[in-house]
């Protein structure tokens, strides 16, 4: 199969028939074999019923429904697992992503050899409360990840099949798929300016909590890729440093007291009366705790179950 379109969605029943019709028209002109995978992330409206009708009308439409809302990352991860196309394109279901962008994204992967091509909504039709945090988020992500993309949040992306089969998207990490792909060795990443349309149906899923969580996820993924395989390298190093600093400080306090008593023959303040002693004691305790945490993290990493815990309730066309 040439092309898979993966569409995660939540309560988008009004836009689904229009999106499917436009995708069929675009890919019909392309002359490629394709499939459209709708991943229903626990919608409470008529989305699943609409997907069922679309799948019954055309076998190239397939659907997966979660028992409840798990989030966009698990939905994308499940879509990546099921996708059969040599090129996989993701897009949102709210009609803000333009299906007419699909041919060029497909060409860039097949003809120009990109591993991943990310859309860039250079001109956005979103309120200022969404665009300003997005700009700050993208600037920070570029600096931390080293992936020079303008729009990490854009849902319109194209991938080589090997990329989506080699990565795992969990938690809220869908924003950082280019970063994840780069860390997994897929460094040929491109960008394309894409059309962005105003939302016609439904309500936006963006909130200020997603902005805060985005930065927390960035810290998480940076730590995971740097120390995820060897957490002891982080916790053990910091713990050892803290313990050594505390031990040397305690030795200094005790040595100073002994020098006053036996060297100078004068009375010296009690060790417990000196603030440095408590700093030293605290540093040693924290050092031991961090070192122990490193051992526990190693055990958790070695024996942890799958991180993606979600339940597929129904499938159609698969």
- Do 238 and 93 sit in the same domain of this protein? no
Contact 164, 178 (CB under 8 A): no
How far does the chain reach from its first CA to its final CA, in angstroms?
A: 15
* Average pLDDT value for residue range 251-276: 76
- Find the domain containing 251 and state its range: 231-303
- Do 62 and 160 sit in the same domain of this protein? yes
Strand partners, 192: 119
Rounded CA separation 79/12 (Å): 17
In a domain, 268, yes or no: yes
- Residue 156: exposure state from Cβ atoms within 10 A (0-12, 13-18, ≥19): buried
User: Among 35, 128, 31, which residue's Cα sits nearest to residue 87?
Assistant: 35
Domain's final residue, options 193, 227, 261: 227
Spatial neighbors of 191 by CB under 8 A, at least 6 apart, are 117, 118, 119, 120, 149, 150, 151
Rounded CA separation 267/256 (Å): 11
- Do 193 and 87 sit in the same domain of this protein? yes
- Do 169 and 284 sit in the same domain of this protein? no
- Do 158 and 212 sit in the same domain of this protein? yes
pLDDT level of residue 125 (50, 70, 90 thresholds): low
* Average pLDDT value for residue range 2-9: 96
Domain's final residue, options 227, 245, 264: 227
pLDDT tens per residue, range 19-48: 999 999 999 999 999 999 999 999 999 999
- Do 124 and 273 sit in the same domain of this protein? no
- Do 109 and 143 sit in the same domain of this protein? yes
- Do 138 and 195 sit in the same domain of this protein? yes
User: Could you identify the residue written with the tokens 């985005």?
Assistant: 214
In a domain, 212, yes or no: yes
- Do 66 and 202 sit in the same domain of this protein? yes
Q: In what order do the strands lie in the sheet with 87-90?
A: 189-193, 116-120, 157-160, 87-90, 3-9, 34-40, 61-66, 312-316
User: Among 236, 229, 195, which residue's Cα sits nearest to residue 102?
Assistant: 195
User: Among 297, 181, 179, which residue's Cα sits nearest to residue 229?
Assistant: 297
Q: Name the residue with higher pLDDT: 7 or 206.
A: 7
- Residue 267: exposure state from Cβ atoms within 10 A (0-12, 13-18, ≥19): exposed
Contact 54, 82 (CB under 8 A): no
Rounded CA separation 166/122 (Å): 29
pTM of the model: 0.72
pLDDT of residue 197: 79
User: Based on the structure, what is the number of domains in the chain?
Assistant: 2
* Average pLDDT value for residue range 42-63: 95
Strand partners, 90: 6, 157
């Amino acid at each position: 199969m040439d092309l898979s379109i993966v569409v995660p969605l939540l309560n988008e029943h009004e836009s689904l028939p229009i999106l499917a019709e436009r995708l069929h028209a675009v890919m019909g002109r392309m002359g490629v074999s394709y499939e459209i995978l709708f991943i229903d992330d626990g919608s409470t409206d008529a989305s699943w019923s609409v997907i069922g009708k679309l799948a019954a009308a055309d076998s190239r439409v397939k659907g997966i429904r979660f028992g409840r809302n798990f989030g966009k990352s698990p939905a994308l991860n499940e879509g990546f697992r099921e996708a059969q196309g040599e090129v996989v394109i993701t897009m949102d279901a709210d009609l803000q992503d333009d299906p007419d962008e699909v041919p060029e994204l497909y060409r860039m992967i097949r003809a120009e050899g990109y591993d991943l091509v990310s859309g860039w909504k250079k001109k956005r039709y979103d309120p200022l409360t969404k665009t300003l945090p997005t700009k700050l988020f993208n600037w920070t992500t570029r600096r931390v990840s080293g992936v020079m993309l303008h729009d990490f949040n854009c849902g319109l992306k194209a991938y080589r099949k090997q990329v989506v089969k080699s990565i795992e998207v969990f938690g809220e990490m869908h924003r950082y798929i280019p970063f994840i792909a780069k860390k997994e060795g897929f460094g040929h990443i491109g960008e394309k300016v894409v059309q962005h349309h105003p939302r016609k149906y439904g309500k936006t899923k963006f909130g200020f909590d997603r902005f805060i969580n985005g930065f927390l996820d960035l810290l998480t993924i940076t730590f995971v890729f740097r120390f995820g395989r060897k957490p002891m390298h982080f916790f053990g190093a910091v713990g050892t440093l803290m313990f050594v600093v505390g031990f040397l400080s305690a030795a200094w306090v005790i040595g100073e007291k002994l020098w006053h008593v036996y060297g100078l023959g004068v009375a010296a303040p009690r060790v417990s009366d000196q603030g440095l002693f408590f700093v030293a004691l605290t540093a040693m305790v924290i050092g031991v705790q961090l070192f122990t945490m490193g051992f526990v993290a190693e055990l958790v990493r070695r024996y942890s179950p799958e991180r993606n815990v979600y339940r597929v309730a129904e499938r159609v066309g698969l």
